[in-house]
Amino acid sequence: NLSERLERSFKILKGEGKITEINVAETLKDVRRALLDADVNYKVAKNFTDTVKTKALGMNVLTAVKPGQLMVKIVHDELAKLMGGEATELHLSGKPSIILMSGLQGSGKTTFSGKLANMLKTKQHKNPMLVACDVYRPAAIEQLKVVGAQVGVPVYAEDENKNVNEIALHAIQEAKAKGHDVVIVDTAGRLAVDESMMREIASLKDAIHPDETLFVVDSMTGQDAVNTAKEFNDRLDFDGVVLTKLDGDTRGGAALSIRTVVTKPIKFIGTGEKMEAIDVFHPERMADRILGMGDVVSLVERAQEQFDEEEAKRLQKKIQKNKFDFDDFLKQIEQIKKMGNLKELASMIPGVGKAIKDVDIDDNAFNGIEAIIRSMTPQERTHPEVLNQSRKMRIAKGSGTSIQEVNRLVKQFDQTRKMMKMVTGNQAMSMMARMKD
């Protein structure tokens, strides 16, 4: 793991009051090795450490008060610079704006098309339309329809026509007629780069003149990702990269090299299978993440977005009056679930990421609890004190759980309620997240 490796190198620096030229060189060698292990291209890694060395010596790192910290800062800033410095936006000026997806099969194009449509719709108040141009497998069209339905965005598809250029042009006509301002074209990929796929997508690009051609790549494919990016870029001259499957602990090496090798910005990252698991790519944050500082900024933003202020205040009042009940509890569980994959969220917290790497937290973690609460009557939910043995038995049967599980939940709920009195709404929420263990 790159973060761990870098951390270890930096510890050497941090541990010593004074850095000598020799241990700067040693550390940089370590940094380079760590980068190579994280799938960073050799040339990129070498250039990177050379730059850091020049910077470090230029900034008199050897005589600095806190040389270790200065080194970490230099490495951090250079990493961010290497990945493009600042976040890059989509250029959507066409009427409608057209976004073309490209990439290998399984890279995450269809999933990302849905995520992007959802993001444009909910955050930028656009009215997008999805277009199915992966016509070789009926399942692919069906998959896009499912994704579209999930995010409430219409999908244009032609079941008989196999000419993707025609389909896309028809779709654009339809979008104009129906007032859609963004058209997202999902395409077919092959398992590896091949000539007929390249020809098809290049011809499609010529036919529809997209505002943005995005290259979608699975970040778990490491060095291969870089080679694939190069081949697609040579052919399509795409505008930006989407790095998918950057969930939790995935190595970020591909992000570093792709940017240098194809000199195109990374615009988005995918961090999970859910439609909400999309983030604008921030080089600074990615540098933090690679250095193992935890992507706290993203985490806080995500939490804020999903956690309704009003709801928090209402909850706080109830807690203060000791009126927090199972209905509130259920609502809170729904809030937490909305925030996306729990493990993914938790992994962004500094120090937690590594600790929970092998722990199995999934979105089903709350299923038992939810079933139990849903089997309670309204009175039982608002007045948990009425829960006697026979009621608990009935609830266990109704929820397909056991009396022990019901007892455990009621006991934990009581404890939580007591503790909650002492804390605020947001803290309460994190406490609930812990309760399901």
Binding-site residues: 103-110, 186-190, 244-247
Distance CA 127, CA 183 (A): 9
Site for Mg ion in 388-417 (CB under 5 A): none
Evaluate the omega torsion of the peptide bond into residue 96 and state whether it is cis, within 30 degrees of 0.
yes
Handedness of CA 201, 145, 192, 223 (dihedral sign): positive
Q: Could you say which of Mg ion, ligand GDP, none residue 245 binds, taking C-beta under 5 to 8 angstroms by partner kind?
A: ligand GDP
Least Å distance between CB 68 and ligand GDP? 34
Q: Is 110 in the site for Mg ion (CB under 5 A)?
A: yes
Measured between its terminal Cα atoms, the distance across the chain in Å is 27
Q: Which residues are annotated binding-site positions for GTP?
A: 103-110, 186-190, 244-247
* Residue placing its CB nearer to ligand GDP in the complex, 150 or 407: 150
CA-nearest of 245, 244, 437, 426 to 336 is 426
In the structure encoding, which two tokens stand for residue 56, read together? 């470090």
Q: Is 109 in the site for ligand GDP (CB under 6 A)?
A: yes
CA distances from residue 198 to 73, 113, 228, 241 in whole angstroms, order as listed? 42, 20, 12, 17
Q: Could you say which of Mg ion, ligand GDP, none residue 247 binds, taking C-beta under 5 to 8 angstroms by partner kind?
A: ligand GDP
Q: Is 244 in the site for Mg ion (CB under 5 A)?
A: no
Task: Candidates 32, 180, 205, 245: give the one binding ligand GDP (CB under 6 A).
Answer: 245
Q: Which stretch binds ligand GDP (CB under 6 A): 196-204, 266-274, 282-290, 411-419?
A: 266-274
In the structure encoding, which two tokens stand for residue 357, read together? 């790497």
Site for ligand GDP in 153-212 (CB under 6 A): 189
Q: Could you say which of ligand GDP, Mg ion, none residue 107 binds, taking C-beta under 5 to 8 angstroms by partner kind?
A: ligand GDP
* Residue placing its CB nearer to Mg ion in the complex, 83 or 216: 216
* Residue placing its CB nearer to ligand GDP in the complex, 107 or 298: 107
Query: 44 phi and psi, to 5 degrees?
Result: -65, -45
* Residue placing its CB nearer to ligand GDP in the complex, 110 or 316: 110
Q: Which stretch binds ligand GDP (CB under 6 A): 30-38, 244-252, 357-365, 375-383?
A: 244-252
* Residue placing its CB nearer to Mg ion in the complex, 110 or 332: 110
Least Å distance between CB 414 and Mg ion? 48
148-161 residues labelled b (16+ CB within 10 A) or e (exposed): beebebbbbbbeee
* Residue placing its CB nearer to Mg ion in the complex, 118 or 416: 118
Distance CA 12, CA 208 (A): 55
Least Å distance between CB 194 and ligand GDP? 15
Q: Is 53 in the site for ligand GDP (CB under 6 A)?
A: no
Q: Which stretch binds Mg ion (CB under 5 A): 19-27, 34-42, 102-110, 346-354?
A: 102-110
- Whether the CB-CB separation of 74 and 56 falls below 8 Å is answered with yes
Annotate each residue in 53-92 with x if it binds Mg ion (CB under 5 A) or - if it does not, as one string. Answer: ----------------------------------------
Cα torsion for 56, 58, 62, 66, to the nearest 10°?
-70
Strands 266-270 and 278-280: antiparallel
Q: Residues in the chain, how many?
A: 437
Number of residues forming the site for ligand GDP (CB under 6 A): 17
* Residue placing its CB nearer to ligand GDP in the complex, 141 or 420: 141
Q: Is 363 in the site for ligand GDP (CB under 6 A)?
A: no
Least Å distance between CB 106 and Mg ion? 8
Q: Which stretch binds Mg ion (CB under 5 A): 106-114, 146-154, 347-355, 416-424?
A: 106-114
Task: Candidates 47, 51, 69, 105: give the one binding ligand GDP (CB under 6 A).
Answer: 105
Task: Candidates 148, 272, 368, 425: give the one binding ligand GDP (CB under 6 A).
Answer: 272
Q: Is 221 in the site for ligand GDP (CB under 6 A)?
A: no
Q: Which residues bind Mg ion (CB under 5 A)?
A: 109-110
